[in-house]
Chains A and B, each alone.
Chain A
Amino acid sequence: MGIEPLIMASSFIRALIEREFMQLALITGVFIGFLAPLIGAFVVIKRLSLIADTLSHFSLAGLAIGMYFINILSLPIGDPLYIGMVFGIIGALLIEVLRGYYRNYKEISMPIVISIGTALSALFISLSGGFNSSVYNYLFGSILTVGRNFVIIISLVTLVILALVIIFYKQIVIVSFDEAYARLLGISVRKFQIVTTIILGIVVSLAIETVGVLLVGSLMIIPVATAMKVGRSFKSTLALAIIFSEASVLLGLWFSYIFSIPSGATIVLFNIAIMVSVVILKKFFFNRSLKEKQS
């Protein structure tokens, strides 16, 4: 029993070395594991945690329309992902427009955009031939089936977003925490909001490949929710969120390969397991240090 985990680990590592699909999955997972909590942190600060789920449903509409273009109309668009990304951006802009239109009921924008996305998805999935393995993969993720093109796209997107976050770090932090103060510093809050929402739309549509439409929100939010409980500063919270996220991606990938179980669901369940562990450990150590102080 003692050596079983070692055998499992060595078979996973061998697969990573020998099989290209595992290498592509690992690179994709590492990039998404980095991007999702990085963007998710700013989403949580703005108290917009449901925006990721909203955009993932809207991106699904794009993916479904992409499938329709390819399967029924035989249009040479390559991959439905491109239409999914465009829809991620359109959904993001639509949310911003609706938030401006319903200024006192900004949260209304979410169910409106989810409704449009879900309705279009159902329509075009049906028109494309109904429920099949592609649709299942979009709903629950398929990191083990990503191709080279996807890895190139996600590498470029990660680099661009990382560069933007590093260059505009202070502005993004100020706009996220306190819009009124950002305005007084001469920061164009509206432009920042639009750009960050577009970035969110792109990241969500890419993350769909990893964990699927139904689990994208958890990939972005749960590591941040965990890190918030133990982070002391903003930077340490961001770093912890990324570490938790990467750990769940790697563990999820490993377990899904070894036990032939869905990768997206496994990654998210590891995310939740880490969150529960951190909450329990924090409670245990916090209570103990409190008792030590009192005695």
Chain B
Amino acid sequence: MRIDVDNLSFGYDYRTVLKNVSFSIESGDFLVIVGQNGSGKSTLVKCLLGINKVPDSKIFLNGIEINDFSNWIQIGYVPQKFDDFNYEFPITVNEILNVTKLTKADEDEKLEIMDNLGILTLQNENINTLSGGQMQRVFIARALMNHPTLLILDEPTVGVDQDNTDRFYRVVNDLNDQGVTIMLISHDLNSSKANFSHAMWLDNGEATLKNISEVALGGEE
């Protein structure tokens, strides 16, 4: 999925979080967005997901103005530390993923996705008994159920051990190789093992985009 952001500013009440952010990525690109806490990373994600309402002609998804965009099912989203998900209330992995009538994946494919991510044996486990790494793979599985052409991952490896982090990046890199556009939010580019094509630094709401060759030449900002 191609993404174009044109001079986007966004704030809550009187506080401006994003200031004139502009960037474009092509379908199949792998963009890592780097920034400190409060730099506007998650706000940008919420704008791209249509959760934060933005003025017309600021964001285009596949060339379609975001306020006219309706094919949201194309976007897979793994939220930051699952903050948006109430995982303290009892619910099993299967119940989270068992929305196949609403997604593109059928039951067989759901099991295949779970198997590929190594969570097939966790089907009947209560979500709040899982480790951070297992929980993260459940939410990646959920995001993949829609056959996304864009996968947005918000700080996905925070609190996850090294083995599971390595496994996570192998899965994401494979998906990108298959043509899925990836947008990964991170606070540290150096610790990321992503095969990214572009990196964007958000600092106090202002964005700087570089492709992989510029990052290699100039190093991380």
Question: How long is the Cα–Cα vector from A46 to B95 in the complex, in angstroms?
Answer: 17
Distance (whole angstroms) from the CB of B42 to the closest CB of chain A: 11
On whether the beta carbons of A180 and B77 are closer than 8 Å, the reply is yes
Digitize B48-61: 1 where CB-to-A-CB distance is under 8 Å, 0 elsewhere. 01110000000000
The listed residue (A170, A178, A232) touching B90 by CB distance below 8 A is: A232
On whether the beta carbons of B86 and A47 are closer than 8 Å, the reply is yes
Q: Is the interface of A mostly helix, strand, loop or mixed?
A: helix
The residues of B that contact A180 with a CB separation of less than 8 Å are: 46, 49, 51, 77, 79, 84
On whether the beta carbons of B85 and A177 are closer than 8 Å, the reply is yes
Distance (whole angstroms) from the CB of B52 to the closest CB of chain A: 10
Question: How long is the Cα–Cα vector from A173 to B97 in the complex, in angstroms?
Answer: 11
The listed residue (A45, A170, A181, A228) touching B101 by CB distance below 8 A is: A170
Point out which of A174, A181, A183 has the most chain B C-beta atoms below 10 A from its C-beta.
A181
The residues of B that contact A232 with a CB separation of less than 8 Å are: 90, 92, 124, 126
On whether the beta carbons of A104 and B95 are closer than 8 Å, the reply is no
List 19 interface pairs A-B (beta carbons < 8 Å), by A numbering.
Answer: A174-B99, A177-B86, A177-B96, A178-B84, A178-B85, A179-B84, A180-B51, A181-B77, A183-B51, A184-B49, A184-B75, A184-B76, A184-B77, A184-B146, A186-B72, A186-B102, A228-B90, A232-B124, A233-B124
Nearest-CB residue, chain B, relative to A173? B95
Digitize B166-191: 1 where CB-to-A-CB distance is under 8 Å, 0 elsewhere. 00000000000000000000000000
Interface residues of B (CB under 8 A from A): 12-13, 46, 49-51, 70, 72-73, 75-77, 79, 84-86, 89-92, 95-96, 98-99, 101-103, 124, 126, 142, 146
Nearest-CB residue, chain B, relative to A176? B86
> Number of residue pairs across A and B with beta carbons under 8 Å?
83
The residues of A that contact B76 with a CB separation of less than 8 Å are: 184
Complex A-B, nearest 3 residue pairs according to Cβ-Cβ distance, in ascending order: A234-B91, A231-B90, A233-B92
Nearest-CB residue, chain A, relative to B93? A233
Instruction: For the complex, count residues of A whose C-beta is within 8 A of B.
Output: 29
Question: How long is the Cα–Cα vector from A88 to B89 in the complex, in angstroms?
Answer: 27
Nearest-CB residue, chain A, relative to B94? A233
On whether the beta carbons of B73 and A185 are closer than 8 Å, the reply is yes
The listed residue (B13, B72, B89) touching A45 by CB distance below 8 A is: B89
On whether the beta carbons of A185 and B51 are closer than 8 Å, the reply is no
The reply on A236 being an interface residue by CB < 8 A is yes
Nearest-CB residue, chain A, relative to B45? A180
The residues of A that contact B90 with a CB separation of less than 8 Å are: 228, 231-234, 236-237
Distance (whole angstroms) from the CB of B88 to the closest CB of chain A: 8
